[in-house]
Amino acid sequence: MKIYFPISAFIVLSFSSFCQPSLHSVASFASSNLPIVVINTHGVAIVDEPKITANMGIIDNGEGKRNSLSDPFNNYNGKIAIEIRGSSSQMFDKKQYGFTTVDSSGGDYDVPLLGFPTEHTWMLSAQYNDKTLMRDALTFLLSSQIGHYASRTKYCEVFLNGDYKGVYLLMEKIKRDKNRVNISKMTAADTAGDNLTGGYIYKIDKADKPTDKGWDALYPPFASSARRYLMYQYEYPDPEEIMPAQIKYLQTFEKHFEVVMNSPFYKDTALGYPKILDVPSFVDMTVINELSKNVDGYRLSTFLYKDRTSKNEKLFAGPLWDYNLGYGNANYGDAFLRTGWQVENESSSSVSDPYAPPFWWKILWGDTGFKKLTALRWKVLRAHQMSTANIFTIIDSLAMVVNEGQQRNFERWPIIGTYVWPNYYYTASSYADEVNYLKGWFISRMDWMDRTLAPLSTAVHEVRALEPSTTALEQNYPNPCNPSTAIRYSLNSIQHVTISIYDVLGRLTSSLVNDVQPAGAYCVVWNASRTPSGVYFCRMNAGPNASSIRIAVIQ
């Protein structure tokens, strides 16, 4: 089974041992093709902060099998700490939730929910004003296909205290972890030397809560912007735990970058942004921000991370987050137009909405070298991961998996054909119309980008700045696996690639990849749910290169 990112399952909340669903909730719900999740707060209201304790159970009988409300909880059955999440989304009746899986004493409890790598922080995203229910899942999958970590996602239908809440998307919360943002772990003792230099995760965002702590940028977004605002916020280490020396280091690092970008030598290879930034990651974020024309791109929910200098001295863009207003789904900031560059737009910044991208994004985009690298990267991706065929295949597969659940979702929330802030297109008469509008957006947007970037993509040799330096097969994770595992690999040139799984007797078990692929970083998922426990070998042949890894399966 060929999947380029683990996005295979969905969640539904069931109540069999926590509480009985109301008659209204289950009038059209007895079973689902998606897993089922049930949350019971025992009468306590869920609020923005602090988290409250609740019970959660998940029913997941496996891929291709039905999940019934009468089935036992077989994926998770325990306690969680849960709160309402989001900023503007909190105005909607269908809320978003962040939760932590906890043990009986309330401590963090790491679990592999629905096959995700083991962790304890999660999010249930409502996707309320995205009536396709797929803009985030699609974006994160594209990001993974082009070689970057993005939150793993699984759709879900949710019951809360007996009330059917509709289709949700289970997502990994962005955090430092070997299976999420894989940078160095920091402790309170890391206040000097190389240990002080990373890892850090911070973001460009607005402050909604007292716990959103950070610092102001040195320079305003642009000369006539309404006001300077809290631009950078601590994400890791946690704002309540980050040490003064770490705060000083991170702010000094970012302010140095801003000074460089405001100087005449900002593009100097020894002193300028090429020395400070991991340019390929910023190019790839630009490509997806512009493909989606995300009205919040560059200016809100924009994450950055830096590892320890001894491991990598540069600043990386990502992971991507919050694309539900992308792809023609916002009626302001010119985001509804299928032409034009979102990074150049300043109309979303006003007295009422002063959050514009930091000044250096526009300077970066204005550099001919950076723009040419973006054009070259776009040309390479359009031949494979961002081909119309690949994107439409993703859209169709997501729509097929969610088709049954979306009918119940829009029974519960009858918003098809009605305006939900900030929809640009809202006259659809069906879910299929919403999906077709999304496809039409891609066709028009990609055509404009093809024509506009084509004159800049003639120096093909320059694309090598974005290519991996080696062809390599990485060790899978998790290992041992049950039932699926992610296998990452990189190509330093266009090559014919085969990746296959063999048992200890050398018999072919599964063929994962057999394709000609351009240079880049990739991830393929092996679903071993029907494979007996034991040791297996994954073998990759790419041009003259051959390599293998050992994989253990435990059922």
pLDDT of residue 225: 65
The per-residue DSSP string of 227-284 comes to ---EEEEEEES-TTT--HHHHHHHHHHHHHHHHHHTSTTTT-TTTSHHHHB-HHHHHH
Q: What angle is formed at CA 407 by the lines to CA 404 and CA 413, rounded to 5 degrees? A: 140
Residue bearing the bigger pLDDT, 247 or 20:
247
CA–CA distance, 49 with 55 (Å, rounded to integer): 18
Closest CA to 127 of 119, 139, 115, 118: 139
For residue 444, pLDDT over 90 is answered with yes
CA–CA distance, 260 with 254 (Å, rounded to integer): 10
Q: Are 3 and 26 in contact (CB under 8 A)?
A: no
Q: How confident is the model at residue 458 (pLDDT cuts 50, 70, 90)?
A: low
pLDDT of residue 28: 67
- Give the least confident one: 7-21, 174-188, 208-222, 320-334: 7-21
Angle between helices 135-145 and 388-412 (to 10 degrees): 150
Q: Are 123 and 96 in contact (CB under 8 A)?
A: yes
Which region holds residue 255: left if phi is over 0, alpha if psi is between -120 and 50, else beta? alpha
CA–CA distance, 342 with 356 (Å, rounded to integer): 11
Q: Are 12 and 159 in contact (CB under 8 A)?
A: yes
pLDDT of residue 351: 45
Alpha helices in 427-534 (DSSP H): 431-453
For residue 30, pLDDT over 80 is answered with yes
For residue 415, pLDDT over 50 is answered with yes
Other beta carbons within 10 Å of 206 = 17
Residue bearing the bigger pLDDT, 482 or 266:
266
Q: Are 532 and 503 in contact (CB under 8 A)?
A: no
Q: How confident is the model at residue 269 (pLDDT cuts 50, 70, 90)?
A: confident
pLDDT of residue 347: 54
pLDDT of residue 88: 85
Integer CA distances (angstroms), 497 to 378, 412, 484, 517, in order: 22, 46, 21, 7
Residue bearing the bigger pLDDT, 451 or 523:
451
Residue bearing the bigger pLDDT, 380 or 483:
380
Residue bearing the bigger pLDDT, 392 or 474:
392
Residue bearing the bigger pLDDT, 352 or 137:
137
pLDDT of residue 459: 52
Over residues 127-139, the pLDDT tens digits come to 999 999 999 999 9
Which amino acid, residue 49? E
3-state secondary structure 184-233: CCCCCCCCCHHHHHCCEEEEECCCCCCCCCEEECCCCCCCCCCCCCEEEE
Q: Are 226 and 349 in contact (CB under 8 A)?
A: yes
* Average per-residue pLDDT for the chain: 88
Q: Are 486 and 463 in contact (CB under 8 A)?
A: no
Which amino acid, residue 534? G
Residue bearing the bigger pLDDT, 16 or 309:
309
pLDDT of residue 346: 63
Intervals of CATH 2.60.40.2550 along the chain: 467-553
Residue bearing the bigger pLDDT, 228 or 549:
549
CATH level 3 topology of 467-553:
Immunoglobulin-like (2.60.40)
For residue 208, pLDDT over 90 is answered with no
Over residues 489-520, the pLDDT tens digits come to 888 888 899 999 999 999 999 999 988 887 77
Over residues 85-123, the pLDDT tens digits come to 988 889 999 999 999 999 999 999 999 999 999 999 999
pTM, two decimals, is 0.82
pLDDT of residue 207: 79
CA–CA distance, 134 with 120 (Å, rounded to integer): 24
Q: How do strand 153-160 and strand 10-12 relate by DSSP bridges?
A: parallel
For residue 227, pLDDT over 70 is answered with no
For residue 7, pLDDT over 70 is answered with no
Q: In sequence order, which residues have a C-beta less than 8 Å from that of residue 267 and are 6 or more positions away?
A: 273, 274, 367, 369, 370
pLDDT of residue 83: 97
